[in-house]
Amino acid sequence: MNQPSVLRRRTFLSGVAAAVSLSGTRSLCGQQADSGKFRISLAEWTINRELKSGEIDHLDFAKVASDHGIFAVEYVNQFFMDKARDQAYLAEMKKRADDLGVKSLILMCDHEGRIGDPNREQRNKTVENHRKWIDAAKYLGCHSIRVNAASEGPWDEQVRLAADGLSQLTEFGAQQQINVIVENHGGLSSNADWLAQVIERVAHERCGTLPDFGNFRIREGESYDSYRGVEKLMPWAKGVSVKDQVWDDQGNRMPLDFERMLKIVLAAGYHGYCGIEFGGYANLNASRLALEQARERL
């Protein structure tokens, strides 16, 4: 991204931050009203720097969200990687969210292997590794876990392998009434045509997508148009991740056109949560307000 784009983004967020102070604390005083369009949630990765540095403790994530007028959250397992089976820790997470009126939506899972690994033993191990997170998601009150559809090999073979791993995991999730959803998250998974084929092959109501506006970069110099990609993946969406930077189909990154993208989301009949995953901790109020204002203009 070139320097003018960075400056435009900073100027935009600064302007929105000023609008927050001028408009008062309408959203900070309580639960979001149901707009009939979509609600706003907070993805934990938004504050990953503060979590990694220890400035913010994972157990305080729900409080960070509520302090900024957001009452639904999406966890990332990286920040409590060794706690999936720690009942006392999960109970504390749940209590803190419940006490604040914060709803737990999604548990995003990383670093548990490739769901489409060409080696069957490794693929099965990846499925097994994710089962504990389904259990944790169920306990916390989430509706879904998010997984990555990583694989290797030719296009069709990766479709087959990823679908096999996802099918196994989805069957287990269905027993717990937990969805298994796939984010476009690098490699072929960031090609919406490929990911759509995978979901179609799994063909299970509990297996869906988590379209991420800003994750359509396939590899260096190759990307899938974000607007077209979101439209392609929305039929299976059980969540939406909002980033303020998107891609064209030629490897170029640019600022998000909020209204254009959100019209695509709503046109698909989606009225769930749109998760903030941009702006960082310092700009949480500005990020929330930017999304609220775009929603009001729709």
Query: In the prediction, which pLDDT does 253 show?
Result: 97
Beta pairing partners, 104: 73
Residues 6+ apart with CB under 8 A from 3: none
pTM for the whole thing?
Answer: 0.89
At the topology level, CATH places domain 37-297 in TIM Barrel (3.20.20)
Q: By three-state DSSP, how is residue 256 classified?
A: coil
Kindly report, residue by residue over 102-131, the tens digit of the pLDDT: 999 999 999 999 999 999 999 999 999 999
Task: Tell me which H or E stretch contains 76.
Answer: strand 72-76
Kindly report, residue by residue over 149-166, the tens digit of the pLDDT: 999 999 999 999 999 999
Residue 260 has pLDDT above 90, yes or no: yes
Half-sphere exposure for 212 (CA within 13 Å, toward CB):
23
Closest listed residue to residue 133, CA positions, set 111, 102, 151: 111
Query: In the prediction, which pLDDT does 16 show?
Result: 41
What region, left, alpha or beta, does residue 260 occupy, with left being phi > 0 and alpha being psi -120 to 50 degrees? alpha
Residue 70 has pLDDT above 70, yes or no: yes
Residue 5 has pLDDT above 90, yes or no: no
Helix 192-202 to helix 155-175 angle (10° resolution) is: 50
Residue 222 has pLDDT above 60, yes or no: yes
Provide the 10 A C-beta neighbour count for residue 4.
8
Local confidence band at 36 (pLDDT 50, 70, 90 cut-offs): confident
Burial class (CB in 10 A: 0-12, 13-18, 19+), 149: buried
Using only C-alpha atoms, the chain has a radius of gyration, in whole angstroms, of 19
Kindly report, residue by residue over 270-298, the tens digit of the pLDDT: 999 999 999 999 999 999 999 999 999 99
Contact criterion met (CB below 8 Å) for 213 and 223: no
Q: What b-and-e string marks burial along 58-95, b requiring 16 or more CB atoms within 10 Å of the CB?
A: bbebbbbbbebbbbbbbbbbbbbeebbeeeebbeebee
Local confidence band at 35 (pLDDT 50, 70, 90 cut-offs): low
Local confidence band at 21 (pLDDT 50, 70, 90 cut-offs): very low
pLDDT averaged over the chain?
91
Local confidence band at 141 (pLDDT 50, 70, 90 cut-offs): very high
Higher-confidence position of 23 and 63: 63
Distance linking the first and last C-alpha atoms of the chain: 28
